[in-house]
Amino acid sequence: MQAEVVQPNDVDVGPILIVDDEVDVHEELAEFLIEQGYLAWHALDADETLGILRQMPEIRILLVDIRMPGRDGLDLISELREAYGDYHECIVITGHGSKEHAISSVRLGLTDFLEKPLHLPALEVALKRAARRLAWKDARGGGRNSAAPAETSLYRRIRDLRGQLDYLRSHDPLTGFLNRPAFLGQSARRLADSGSSRAAVIMADLDRFRQINELHGFAAGDRVLVALAGRIETLAGAGALLGRMSSDRFAILGFFGGDGPDLGSWTTALRERLAEPLPESGIRHPLAVTTASALSGPEQPDAERLVFEAEMALAEGKQRGGNCHVNARASMVAAGSRSNRILDGIRDALLEGRIRPWYQPIVELANSNVWGFEALMRWHQGGEVVSAGTFAGIVKDTDVAPQLDEAVVDAVISDLDEWQHVLPSDRRYVVSVNLWSRTLTDPESFGRVMERLEGFASDRFVLAVEIIEGDLGLLPEAQRERLLAFRGPAQGGLLFLDDFGVAHSSFARLGEFPVDCLKLDRHFTEELQRSARSAQVVETIVTMAGKLACPVIAEGIETETQHRQLASLGCRYGQGYLLGKAMRIEDALAFAVGRYEDQRVGE
């Protein structure tokens, strides 16, 4: 047992205990911890660890190897939980990781699971997350000034679990950054208190991130994101607000000019730092990163407006080919004016009943029979039919989004009531509706939509709700429970998980939030013929989903080759232009009945 005494870190988390039977690992970690300003202790096994902790209650953070002589690291952590409750933060490190170890870690409430050889920036981020969690506990009276065993009381454990849930609802679990809703909310509060300071939102988006996932694997993709988050956090400093807005998009809210840094110089430094290679993740060449910034004017800054302008600028950078920086300027303002005109037009269309659902068939790949339909939003404007993809980016984060969902659900139910009589008595079709993130998180709009869905009854149709995979982490508990009740036997609805494979997919989520179908993102369909790895990924997803009795719907099927290949990989259902375009309700049902009658003739 040995201690290296150093100056205390800026965030006082006390000594850190390294639990590993390899001296070389201890020396490497101790050197890194010393550089970061921590006090490091070392234990070789579980028994030595428990002895140290009994003598040193000031130790709160442990780095624990899984494989050790005697009891392994997960057994040790389980013992700590029984003896001390949630008093300690444990970061698992292992050179022999497995799915079973990862699942066991999750069951123990662990959120940081790092593989050897350790990526030190990822460890740095994990330590900062652990420090934040300890600060949260201390602020609520369950930390350093209380007796550790008292943490086992039922009241405090329930309180801590609620706190952890609150943290997960507002934070991205991979990077520890705020998620999108929390970033917007905290930005608004920060700006309200900023006075006359010049605020800016900076966006950073990694170009061709999907290729990194495909070439190096999703674990490497995660490591890249963690490394980029660490670089952003280091460069941004303590005063900045940091968010992960989507899969590979980050946001920074900071204050510039006056006594603060120059925005132009800072964004240049950011791009240069983010572009540096990551050889430890297999990235040996510079990364391509697109950045954008939006600076507030002399008026009181508005968080949503700054984020909107920064994302518009980022979109322009992507259109230029990426790997560049764009400032929100006159062209952005013009684009913003166009967006306002579109929003006004959609509001008028809602009042006039010109937002209607069209229905795209979902087909059984084995025999081409129609299994169901996806209701897709269409805006009837000046004699043209405009798809939702044209205006989705403009409306998704506004109050218009829930209004659109309510209008479409009302129209779908009206269509099905009116047309169900044309269907054969022995056929029943699934009809799925999509809900925007804004609807899922707005209790009033969500409640109205669910009342309509729950009140629908038919022996010809079954309703399904489609949720984008990335929205699962945003669902408040009340909405989550109501959706799960919707798919229960009493109501008989279905839940689909849309765009599966775009976010950092996890089948572990499906244990907590079971669904009836996974919708495979169209990207995999497009890449099937170009990438053998994509075919392997699809086959793996289908196999795993099959074990959960959860069939897969492949999206974006446009060629016979894609149709055959997806069917051979085990996809049960598909949709795309080859199998049937979106149609009005009467045409869609005629299409389905025609397929049904063709099959009967063939028999």
Q: Which domains does the chain have, with CATH numbers?
A: 3-170 (3.40.50.2300), 180-328 (3.30.70.270), 360-378+404-602 (3.20.20.450)
- Please identify which residue in the block is written with the tokens 């602020």: 139
Share of the chain above pLDDT 90, in %: 32
Residue 467 gets the label, from left (phi > 0), alpha (psi -120 to 50) or beta, of: beta
Q: Which of 30, 60, 64 is CA-nearest to residue 44? A: 64
Hey, is 236 helix, strand or coil? helix
- Look up the pTM and report it: 0.50
558 Cβ partners below 8 Å, 6+ apart? 525, 576, 577, 578
Q: Which of 259-268, 464-473, 522-531 has the lowest mean pLDDT?
A: 522-531
Q: 146 versus 320: which is more confidently predicted?
A: 320
What is the distance between the alpha carbons of residues 421 and 435, in angstroms, rounded to a whole number? 27
What is the distance between the alpha carbons of residues 78 and 87, in angstroms, rounded to a whole number? 12
Report DSSP letters for 324-366, one per residue: SEEE--HHHHHHHHHHHHHHHHHHHHHHHT-EEEEEEEEEETT
Taking the chain, what is the end-to-end CA distance rounded to the nearest angstrom?
78
Q: Which of 520, 370, 513 is CA-nearest to residue 431? A: 370
Q: Which of 304-318, 497-511, 516-530 has the lowest mean pLDDT?
A: 497-511
Is the CB of residue 564 less than 8 Å from the CB of residue 535? no
In the structure encoding, which two tokens stand for residue 59, read together? 């130790």
Q: What distances in angstroms separate CA 247 from CA 129, 243, 291, one per listed residue?
A: 19, 11, 15
Count CB atoms within 10 A of the CB of residue 565. 18
Tell me if the bond preceding 117 is cis, omega within 30° of 0: yes
Q: Which of 88-102, 249-263, 576-590 has the lowest mean pLDDT?
A: 88-102
Q: What distances in angstroms separate CA 260 from CA 46, 115, 197, 198, one per listed residue?
A: 49, 38, 9, 9
Task: Report pLDDT digits (tens) over 362-382.
Answer: 999 999 999 999 999 999 887
Is the CB of residue 376 less than 8 Å from the CB of residue 582? yes
Residue 149 is given by DSSP the state G
Q: Which of 122-131, 182-191, 229-238, 505-514 has the lowest mean pLDDT?
A: 505-514
Q: 197 versus 222: which is more confidently predicted?
A: 222
Q: Which of 240, 127, 132 is CA-nearest to residue 186? A: 240
Q: What distances in angstroms separate CA 171 from CA 11, 223, 583, one per listed residue?
A: 20, 18, 40
Q: Which of 595, 544, 534, 591 is CA-nearest to residue 566? A: 534
What is the distance between the alpha carbons of residues 305 and 547, in angstroms, rounded to a whole number? 45
- Mean pLDDT for the stretch of residues 271-292: 88
| Mean pLDDT of all residues belonging to the chain | 81
- For the four alpha carbons of 169, 174, 180 and 184, in that order, the dihedral sign comes to positive
Q: Which of 139, 76, 141 is CA-nearest to residue 110? A: 76
What is the distance between the alpha carbons of residues 520 and 501, in angstroms, rounded to a whole number? 7
In the structure encoding, which two tokens stand for residue 364, read together? 């059984």
- Mean pLDDT for the stretch of residues 152-180: 67
Task: Report pLDDT digits (tens) over 286-341.
Answer: 899 999 998 887 666 788 888 888 888 888 888 788 889 988 864 555 556 667 77
- Mean pLDDT for the stretch of residues 525-544: 78
**Buried b or exposed e, range 346-383, using 16+ CB within 10 angstroms:** beebbeeebbbbbbbbbbbbeeeebbbbbbbbbbebee
What is the distance between the alpha carbons of residues 589 and 458, in angstroms, rounded to a whole number? 15
Give pLDDT, residue 168: 67
